[in-house]
Amino acid sequence: MKLLILNGPNLNRLGKREPDVYGSKTLNDLESFLKKHGESANVRVTMKQSNWEGQIIDWIHDAENSYNGIIINPGAFTHYSYAIRDAVAGITLPVVEVHISNVHAREEFRKESVIAPVCVGQISGFGFEGYLMGMDYFIRREGHGTD
């Protein structure tokens, strides 16, 4: 099985940006953590990050023929990117939305996701573990991560 993990704007600043909210670990730490978990379950993980909406949309479109599912942390695009929402709605792959912080316990504007309604689910507030929860969903869905 192959999973694409997409991270949106400012997630390249993990470890430096608001460590009281997002923790002290970096995006590279997250990638290592997820790839290690993937290897133990026979899942190939590809992780990408962009601060550019169009790049994320292109990756979503391109994923349809190469991956079994997508885990996306859209960052701030969560709240207003109808373009990313439409890209997710326009593919047949299942998508899980993930957030490191509990967006529902933060500022009011963070509580609304325009992307979640076209995803199979949303995971919020469990730090890096939320990505693992998303991966485990796909592993169970696809039959224990076998190709």
Q: What pLDDT does residue 17 have?
A: 74
Name the percent of the chain lying above pLDDT 90: 76
Q: Which of 37, 61, 79, 99 is catalytic?
A: 99
Q: How confident is the model at residue 16 (pLDDT cuts 50, 70, 90)?
A: confident
Active-site residue flag, 22:
yes
> What integer pLDDT is reported at residue 144 of this predicted model?
55
Q: Which CATH class is domain 2-142?
A: alpha beta
pLDDT for residue 147 is more than 80 = no
CA distance 41 to 101: 26
Whether 21 shows a pLDDT value over 70: the answer reads no
Q: Please pick, among 22, 37, 61, 80, the residue that the annotation labels catalytic.
A: 22
User: Is 96 within 8 Å of 140 (Cβ atoms)?
Assistant: no
Please state the domain extents for the chain: 2-142
pLDDT confidence tier of residue 23, bands split at 50, 70 and 90: low
Cα(21)–Cα(46) distance, rounded to whole angstroms?
A: 25
Contacts of 84 (CB under 8 A, 6+ apart): 53, 56, 57, 60, 72, 74, 77, 115
Residue 65: is its pLDDT beyond 80? yes
